[in-house]
Amino acid sequence: AQKVTQAQTEISVVEKEDVTLDCVYETRDTTYYLFWYKQPPSGELVFLIRRNSFDEQNEISGRYSWNFQKSTSSFNFTITASQVVDSAVYFCALRELTQGAQKLVFGQGTRLTINP
Amino acid sequence: NAGVTQTPKFQVLKTGQSMTLQCAQDMNHNSMYWYRQDPGMGLRLIYYSASEGTTDKGEVPNGYNVSRLNKREFSLRLESAAPSQTSVYFCASTEHLNTEAFFGQGTRLTVV
């Protein structure tokens, strides 16, 4: 069965620090997709990134970067020079393809608090 | 440019009452989903509809029913609400198999 583990339940750092959110996944599929979503205090889910299993290149988007390592089944997310607006719950998710639909298996989420 | 719209945003029910959560998307997506979010458990899939006319159970379907009314709308019904169904419910839709899911704003349901 597919599984996603975010072992860090809560992280608290001071503004401008770098912070890494860990994500470890389990799947028997040879082709799969991983996602990160952000849930700010307002409650909506905001898509951040999608990564397929064929592409192991790291990705950078402004202060955000993602490190995908198939050898360790990890897809970690780093925020550089964190800001108060980065405070949110972050979810890692794995796509499970079933009967024409893509179901998402979510990790438990990491609550990130950036203190001024 | 509404995306995925859920109604209501908040609801309080008494144990045993019934209600229907509504979801509509205006992006012409084929697949739609209902998830529930509970503290410390992430989001879990309740039901999904791969395409108009089909529905299937997800991880936690007990106590719920769904209807894919048409391509735009996918409703979730609680026939006899229980306190264990207190949660935040999210509707989502996807266009293709390899694209991201778009989520509604969520419905916060409390069963007392």
pLDDT for A103 equals 87
For chains A and B, CB pairs below 8 A equal 68
**Comparing A49 with B99, which gets the higher pLDDT?**
A49
Hey, is the C-beta of A36 within 8 angstroms of any chain B C-beta?
no
Q: What is the C-alpha separation between B24 and A4, in angstroms, rounded?
A: 29
Q: Quick one: pLDDT band at residue B1, thresholds 50, 70, 90?
A: low
Give backbone dihedrals phi and psi of B36, rounded to 5 degrees, phi first: -120, 145
- pLDDT tens for B48-68 read 999 998 999 999 999 999 999
pLDDT in tens, A14-48: 999 999 999 999 998 888 899 999 999 999 999 99
Q: Please tell me the predicted confidence (pLDDT) of residue A9.
A: 96
* Contact status, residue A101 vs residue B33, Cβ threshold 8 Å: yes
Flag whether pLDDT at B105 surpasses 90: yes
Are the beta carbons of B42 and A43 separated by less than 8 Å? no
Under the phi-then-psi rule, with left for phi > 0, alpha for psi from -120 to 50, and beta for the rest, what region is A71?
alpha
Token digits for B55? 């529905």
| Average pLDDT score over residue span B86-105 | 90
Minimal C-alpha gap between A44 and chain B (Å): 5
The CA distance from B70 to A105, in Å, is: 26
- In this complex, do B100 and A47 lie within 8 Å of one another by their Cβ atoms? yes
**DSSP string of chain B, one letter each residue:** ---EEEE-SEEEE-TT--EEEEEEESS--SEEEEEEE-TTS-EEEEEEESSTT--EE-S--TTEEEEE-SSSBEEEEESS--GGG-EEEEEEEESSTTSPPEE---EEEEE-
Helix (H, G, I), strand (E, B) or coil at A85: helix
CA atoms within 13 A on the CB side of A47: 15
Check whether A63 has a pLDDT greater than 80.
yes
What was the pLDDT predicted at A3? Answer: 94
Q: Which residues contact A112 (CB under 8 A, 6 or more apart)?
A: A10, A11, A12, A13, A19, A21, A79, A86, A87, A88, A89, A90
Picking from A6, A102, A106 by the largest number of B CB atoms within 10 A of its own CB, the best residue to mutate is A102
Looking at residue B97, what is its pLDDT?
A: 67
**Chain B contact for A99, CB < 8 A?**
yes
pLDDT digits (tens, 9 = 90+) for B2-52: 799 999 999 999 999 999 999 999 999 999 999 999 988 899 999 999 999
Instruction: Return the pLDDT at A71.
Output: 92
Contacts of A102 in chain B (CB under 8 A): 31, 94, 97-98, 101
Report the gap between the CA of B70 and the closest CA in chain A (Å).
Answer: 16
Q: Of B4, B44, B45, which to mutate for an interface test with A (greatest number of A Cβ within 10 Å)?
A: B45
Among chain B residues, CA nearest to A36: B100
Give the mean pLDDT of A46-59: 89
pLDDT score of A13 more than 80: yes
Given an 8 Å threshold on Cβ–Cβ distance, is A103 in contact with B33?
A: yes
- Given a cut of 80, whether residue B96 has pLDDT beyond it is no
Q: Which of B33, B41, B50 sits opposite A99 (nearest CB)?
A: B50
Q: Could you write out the three-class secondary structure of B7-32?
A: ECCEEEECCCCCEEEEEEECCCCCEE
Predicted local distance difference test score (pLDDT) of residue B34:
98
Q: Is the pLDDT of residue B93 over 80?
A: yes
DSSP A43: -
Amino acid symbol at A55: D
Of B41, B50, B99, the CB nearest to A101: B50
Within 8 A of B55 by CB-CB distance, chain A residues are none
